[in-house]
Amino acid sequence: MNTKSHLRTRMLCEGALMVALAQILGYLKLAEAPNGGSITFAMFPIILFAVRWGLRPGLMAGFLFGLLQLIFDGAYAWGWQSMLLDYLVAFTPLGLAGLFRGKSWGLFAGTLAGCLARFAIHYISGVTVYKILAPTEFLNWTFSSPALYSLVYNGSYMLPNTIITLLISVVLYVPLKRFILGLDLK
């Protein structure tokens, strides 16, 4: 019997597990950029949770994951603005995947929406906060434009992260379809 209280407790437990799993997966870095940002499998659990439970729980899970990244992952930041934008604000929009709750294609659209929003926040941070580094070198290129530097730098890890999350979604969609769509909650 799925009472409202039971579902809320289940949502909180699943959220805690998914945030913890994301944190653990965040330590398994495939690559790491010199000024923060890495390529990991960590976004998938947050996006999966958001698509399963909806926007508000998804945004909260993204925020909590960002907070854990800030506290435990050796935050790379240039002041409080960078800490706020690159961690708390940037990871929260992964929960936008919750806008696609219950849709058969929601996991894929949610991944794109959450990752694009996270990239946008990192881009804004790069243009506003990290402009103090200009001119700077990255990938053997010298950038004098903070906008171009932010686009290339943040794209260098966000594009692979988005692709990885989409690939995980493709592989797990069929075996987890009932779970992803929340059919077990009805």
Extract the tokens encoding 140.
Answer: 């053997």
Instruction: Return the number of other C-beta atoms located less than 10 Å from residue 67's C-beta.
Output: 15
Residue 140, pLDDT above cutoff 80: no
- Give the pLDDT score at 141: 67
**Residue 39, SS3 per DSSP:** strand
Residue 103 is classified by DSSP as: -
Q: Does residue 137 surpass a pLDDT of 80?
A: no
Provide the whole-model pTM: 0.91
Predicted confidence (pLDDT) per residue in 84-103, tens digit = 888 899 999 999 999 999 99
How many structural domains are present in the chain?
1
What is the C-alpha separation between 186 and 176, in angstroms, rounded?
Answer: 16
Q: Whole domain around residue 65: which residue ranges?
A: 4-185
Query: How far apart, in whole angstroms, are the C-alpha atoms of residue 44 and residue 47?
Result: 5
pLDDT band at 134 (very low <50, low <70, confident <90, very high): low
Q: How far apart are CA 50 and CA 73, in angstroms?
A: 23
User: Which CATH number covers residue 134?
Assistant: 1.10.1760.20
Residue 105 has pLDDT above 90, yes or no: yes
